[in-house]
Amino acid sequence: MIRSKLKVLSLGVAIGLTAWSQMAVADTSDKKIALSNNYAGNSWRQAMLNSWEKITSQAVKDGIVSSADAFTTAENQVTEQAAQIQNMILQGYDAIVINAASPDALNGAVEEACSAGIKVISFDGIVTAPCAWRIAIDFKQMGKEQLIYLAKHMPDGGNLLEIRGLAGVFVDDEISAGIHEGVAENPQFKIVGSVHGDWAQDVAQKAVAGILPSLPEITGVVTQGGDGYGAAQAFKAADRPTPLIIMGNRQDELKWWKEQKDANGYKTMSVSIAPGVSTLAFWVAQQILDGADVPKELVVPFLRVDQDDLEEKLAGTEVGSVANVEYSLDDAKKVIAGE
């Protein structure tokens, strides 16, 4: 009878261990992940780094990974970022999460990392090296959405000023391409001027102020984020009518929009990628190190603010920051699964 009970108990333990092993995941507690970031000169990048620090520091504290260090290069320098990645290889990181200065100029360094067995996950500024993973939004569609909005609210069209982002960066090229495609489909609009605002309010304000004297009446300003408030200040300083300015989810933009909405019913929309996409990239890296089967291409939606939810989004955005979404491990698993 005792022997029979022992057999049942042993069988139960075996079944329990088998079930546990099927649920258990590979141990990543000794894995080191690094963030290589090409630029930090605006509020979006600062919010992105803050989100990374917030989520990864807790992951390190919880023993999920051993470290998740962040490194930023100076002023979008490709050569410096390539050297930085090569140093990360020598330092023995298991995965490198990268916001890249160029989609292809860093491929040599990325492929070196891959050859060393390091997993490379790019986001926002993605890389094209086949061995790397890419997390992006449809930036081209993000640009085109602005023209769809303008066509709906300004059917007669008009002259547009385009404020671009950081020159030479994949994101800037894609958003601008979407804007121009939207204009081609809505020929009642015409882009009569274009400047680079570097996704920063002060740079955008100076650039817009410099070009305004040479421009005819402007009915709309298409943007890339971090430039809407600066544009508004430039129009105000030039004593010119405020056009419909597409915003980019920065707190100062949303605050200005709210003030204009309350004062005179000003209408616009705001769109950008959430800075917290860096946290999604971190969890994707952790899952890859954990042995998960992760598609090389992952797409996340952009974050949009409309007239009806402006107050809610503004209330949830810290002063000096950007409307944001941060990702959990469960969120990452859903994105990986395509849910």
Residue-wise pLDDT for 206-226, tens only, equals 999 999 999 999 999 999 998
In this predicted structure, the answer to whether residue 11 has a pLDDT above a threshold of 50 is: no
Angstrom distance (rounded) from CA 41 to CA 45: 7
Same-domain check for residues 215 and 171:
yes
Nearest C-alpha neighbor of 149 from the set 240, 274, 271:
271
* Choice among 88-97, 166-175, 294-303 with the minimum mean pLDDT: 166-175
The answer to whether the beta carbons of residues 170 and 135 sit under 8 Å apart is no
Kindly tell me the burial class for residue 300, based on how many C-beta atoms sit within 10 Å of its own C-beta (0-12, 13-18, 19 or more): buried
Angstrom distance (rounded) from CA 18 to CA 232: 63
pLDDT at 329 (0 to 100): 96
Q: How many Cα neighbours within 13 Å face the side chain of 260?
A: 22
Angstrom distance (rounded) from CA 132 to CA 187: 39
Same-domain check for residues 67 and 117:
yes
What b-and-e string marks burial along 117-142, b requiring 16 or more CB atoms within 10 Å of the CB?
ebbbbbbbbbbbbeebbbbbbebbbb
* Structure tokens, 204: 């955008």
pLDDT at 74 (0 to 100): 77
Is the pTM value of this prediction over 0.75?
yes
Q: Read off the pLDDT of residues 67-83 as tens digits, 9 standing for 90 and up.
A: 999 999 977 789 999 99
The answer to whether the beta carbons of residues 257 and 268 sit under 8 Å apart is yes
For residue 21, being part of any structural domain is answered with no
Q: How many Cα neighbours within 13 Å face the side chain of 219?
A: 14
The answer to whether the beta carbons of residues 199 and 225 sit under 8 Å apart is yes
- Of 220 and 102, more confident: 220
Same-domain check for residues 143 and 256:
yes
pLDDT at 26 (0 to 100): 54
pLDDT at 25 (0 to 100): 47
For residue 2, being part of any structural domain is answered with no
In this predicted structure, the answer to whether residue 95 has a pLDDT above a threshold of 80 is: yes
Same-domain check for residues 132 and 281:
yes
For residue 279, being part of any structural domain is answered with yes
* Number of domains the chain contains: 2
Residue in the block written with tokens 């495609």:
181
Question: Which residue segment(s) compose the domain that 283 sits in?
Answer: 32-137+274-303+318-336
Same-domain check for residues 130 and 242:
no
Q: What average pLDDT is seen over the chain?
A: 91
- Region 239-254: what's the mean pLDDT? 96
- Of 186 and 41, more confident: 186
| 170 confidence band (pLDDT: 50, 70, 90) | confident
Kindly tell me the burial class for residue 84, based on how many C-beta atoms sit within 10 Å of its own C-beta (0-12, 13-18, 19 or more): buried
pLDDT at 136 (0 to 100): 86
* Choice among 7-16, 102-111, 126-135, 324-333 with the minimum mean pLDDT: 7-16
Same-domain check for residues 36 and 90:
yes
| 195 confidence band (pLDDT: 50, 70, 90) | very high
pLDDT at 15 (0 to 100): 37
Find the CATH number of the domain harbouring 323: 3.40.50.2300
- Region 182-205: what's the mean pLDDT? 96
Same-domain check for residues 221 and 263:
yes
Same-domain check for residues 239 and 126:
no
pLDDT at 21 (0 to 100): 33
For residue 205, being part of any structural domain is answered with yes
Angstrom distance (rounded) from CA 56 to CA 47: 14
- Region 289-315: what's the mean pLDDT? 95
Angstrom distance (rounded) from CA 260 to CA 127: 40
Same-domain check for residues 181 and 199:
yes
In this predicted structure, the answer to whether residue 179 has a pLDDT above a threshold of 90 is: yes
Same-domain check for residues 149 and 75:
no
| 16 confidence band (pLDDT: 50, 70, 90) | very low
- Region 112-141: what's the mean pLDDT? 96
Same-domain check for residues 268 and 283:
no
Kindly tell me the burial class for residue 296, based on how many C-beta atoms sit within 10 Å of its own C-beta (0-12, 13-18, 19 or more): exposed
Nearest C-alpha neighbor of 331 from the set 287, 297, 295, 291:
287
For residue 230, being part of any structural domain is answered with yes
Angle at 196 (CA atoms; ends 103, 324), nearest 5 degrees: 70
